Amino acid sequence: MILFYAVATATMKTLLFSLTRWEVKGRENVPRNGPLIVVANHLSLIDPPLLSASVPRRVFFMAKEELFSSWGAAFVRWFGAFPVRRGTLDRKALRQAMQVLERGQTLGMFPEGKRSLNQQMNEAEFGIAMIALRSGASILPVGISGSENVSGPGFIWRRPRVAVTIGQPFSFPRNEGKLTREQLVEATNLIMRHIAEVLPPGYRGIWEYQSGDQADL
């Protein structure tokens, strides 16, 4: 699996350099060691390998369970992803996510739980907040723009611009007690605002960032 991930990531980098105008800003913000949660907006099917190519750490992704019964299920597993049931509290997926972080590795999540159909950020699910509060791991906000244009045979002639902007990591104090809905809402909102902050205004949607909205960490 490690070899497959390395080969797949190298192949993705080659394709991005060849077929798009790929740009990554903020790589210096990625912690070199320790548990890390990479959170990003979601525009395209290429977003997981795009993040893997852009973030200089191996990323283990939570992926919708439907992918594990499709023709590409083997590739998804070899890539290091594990399934999550959307729209419900999937305790097995949460345990797997915590295990990734307990090993000091990097967890990749798209808090919205699905791709945006209009490039705008939408409501997020509480899973990310629960994992962040339980683990106390560093959270790395990433903004993706342009990946929605990497589709159809015509895009290779346009070489669309694909930008990945990596923000500053932050974290919440580890909380092992019972989490309230208020805590989950507050943590989710803060995480989404951090992502919105590193996105162009046209992608922020309901999370349009305004200075002063963000609480001190």
Residue 8 to residue 6: CA distance in whole angstroms: 6
Question: Cβ contacts of residue 204 below 8 Å, gap of 6+?
Answer: 120, 121, 196
| 44 in Cβ contact with 147 (< 8 Å) | yes
Tens of pLDDT, residues 145-201: 999 999 887 888 889 999 999 999 999 999 988 999 999 999 999 999 999 999 999
Tens of pLDDT, residues 86-114: 777 788 999 999 999 999 999 999 999 89
Q: For 19-43, what is the mean pLDDT?
A: 97
User: Higher-confidence residue: 151 or 31?
Assistant: 31
Under CATH, which number does the domain 2-207 receive? 3.40.1130.10
pTM: 0.91
Domain ranges of the chain: 2-207
| 111 in Cβ contact with 205 (< 8 Å) | no
